[in-house]
């Protein structure tokens, strides 16, 4: 495969770099940051233990070329992974600039909320532009939401799905483009009620996190909500569950909180979070996260390989 170009070395961009190099791909990095090489090196050292085969970060770094000139970087690229901040005008300008270089690469945007037709609005032909939204951290969490616009060519979608599978991801194609896509909308809905429960004094931030990881988090690591409630209905399945509890579920929706993110609410959440987790650095917390994510993924792989 030809070179993969990664634009941006934030958390998502660095995660992609780690993943792509771990799968043996040559990566060209484009970034305006003067410390881009330092940032990438630190990211590789942090993420390497959770990558396939736990590779030596130095080996991964050997597969990376830092190229500040965008035109030279994308000239012979097969895939361009865009990871700049989620600013629509910035991304529109970037994709229009990439198009003017004449590259024929697949253009994958890691945006978490912007629609592909909007991203490509300043391009003459945005047919090769596809959203490939990862869930953080992208080097470890398998899901990538693939979102096509009206202007996206079906061949570009097929290429995106194949590329993402080739680096061990589990791409899911959304049947319709909608703001914030699907996984973030689900996460946002849960987070809203989490904030409500903390603001109302029902639970503190660390207590809420403990509750989730020891209940629905554990459940959702093995099956989705529909399958879980299908089992919750016993022999009657989801049909039986909804016929018995559906009315109560609807009443419960009406009681969910709608917290306002006032300065007071923000300060409450930040203070409790910093008190709970502020005694460790980002690198320490991220390493623990990756170690536990990897343990879950490996355990699930073993369980699924066993005969039922």
Residue 71 CA to residue 101 CA, distance in Å, equals 6
CB-CB contact of 18 with 92 (8 Å) = no
> Under a CB-based contact definition with an 8 Å cutoff, are residues 112 and 133 in contact?
yes
Give the Cβ contact number of residue 224 at 10 Å.
11
Specify the length of the chain in residues. 308
Report pLDDT for 100: 97
Q: Give the three-state DSSP class for 245.
A: helix
| Complete domains list, the chain, with CATH | 3-174 (3.40.50.720), 182-222+260-305 (no CATH)
For residue 285, give Cα distances in angstroms to 98, 216, 258.
Answer: 36, 22, 30
Specify the pLDDT at position 200. 98
Residue 244, pLDDT score: 86
Task: Point out the residues of the chain with pLDDT beneath 70.
Answer: none
Q: How far is 121 from 150, CA to CA, in rounded Å?
A: 11
Most distant pair of Cα atoms in the chain: their distance:
63
Q: What's the pLDDT at 250?
A: 87
DSSP tag of 64: E
SS (H, E, C) 104-167: CCEEEECCCCCCHHHHCCCCCCHHHEEEEEECCCCCCCCEEEEECCCCCCHHHHHHHHHHHHHC
Give residue for tokens 């634009």: 7
Residue of 189, 256, 234, 186 whose CA lies nearest to 243: 234
- Asked if residue 43 lies in contact with residue 61, where contact means CB atoms within 8 angstroms, the answer is no
Contact indicator for 232, 241 with CB cutoff of 8 Å: yes
Distance of alpha carbon 266 from alpha carbon 239, whole angstroms: 41
CB 112 within 8 A of CB 45: no
The whole-angstrom distance between residue 112's C-alpha and the CA centroid of its chain comes to: 8
Phi, psi for residue 143 in degrees, rounded to 5: -65, 135
Task: Give the Cα separation of 282 and 231 in Å (integer).
Answer: 38
CA–CA separation, 123 and 83 (whole Å): 18
Q: According to the model, what pLDDT value does residue 60 have?
A: 97
Q: What is the pLDDT of residues 82-95, one digit of tens each?
A: 999 999 999 999 99
Q: What's the sign of the alpha-carbon dihedral 117, 118, 123, 124?
A: positive
Instruction: Find the radius of gyration of the CA atoms of the chain.
Output: 21
Q: What is the pLDDT of residue 18?
A: 98
Question: Within a 10 A sphere around the Cβ of 178, how many other Cβ atoms?
Answer: 12
The phi and psi torsions of 6 (rounded to 5 degrees) equal -115, 120
- Note the pTM of the prediction, 2 decimals: 0.93
Question: Over the stretch 6-22, which tens digit does the pLDDT of each residue have?
Answer: 999 999 999 999 999 99
Q: What confidence score (pLDDT) does residue 99 get?
A: 97
In angstroms, the CA 58 to CA 35 distance is 18
């Amino acid at each position: 495969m030809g070179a993969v170009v990664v634009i941006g070395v934030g958390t998502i961009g660095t995660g992609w770099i780690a993943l792509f190099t771990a799968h043996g791909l040559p990566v060209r990095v484009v970034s305006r940051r003067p410390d881009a090489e330092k940032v990438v090196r630190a990211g590789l050292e942090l993420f390497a233990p959770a990558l396939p085969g736990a590779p030596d970060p130095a080996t991964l770094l050997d597969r990376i070329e830092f190229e500040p000139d965008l035109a030279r970087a994308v000239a012979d690229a097969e895939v361009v992974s865009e990871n700049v901040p989620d600013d629509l005008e910035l991304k529109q300008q970037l994709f229009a600039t990439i198009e003017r270089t004449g590259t024929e690469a697949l253009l994958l945007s890691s945006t978490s909320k912007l629609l592909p037709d909007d991203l490509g609005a300043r391009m003459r032909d945005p047919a090769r532009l596809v959203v490939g939204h990862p869930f953080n951290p992208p080097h470890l969490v398998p899901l990538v939401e693939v979102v096509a616009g009206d202007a996206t060519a079906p061949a570009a979608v097929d290429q995106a799905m194949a590329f993402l599978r080739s680096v061990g991801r589990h791409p899911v194609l959304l049947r319709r483009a909608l703001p914030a896509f699907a996984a973030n909308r689900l996460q946002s809905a849960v987070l809203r009620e989490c904030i409500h429960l903390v603001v109302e004094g029902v639970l503190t931030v660390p207590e809420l996190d403990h509750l989730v990881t020891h209940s629905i988090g554990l459940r959702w690591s093995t099956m989705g909500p529909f399958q879980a409630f299908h089992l919750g209905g016993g022999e009657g399945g989801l049909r039986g569950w909804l016929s018995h509890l559906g009315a109560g579920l609807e009443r419960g929706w009406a009681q969910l909180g709608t917290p306002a993110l006032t300065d007071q609410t923000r300060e409450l959440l930040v203070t409790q979070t910093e008190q709970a987790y502020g005694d460790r650095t980002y690198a320490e917390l991220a390493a623990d996260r990756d170690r536990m994510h990897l343990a879950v993924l490996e355990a699930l792989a073993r369980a699924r390989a066993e005969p039922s």
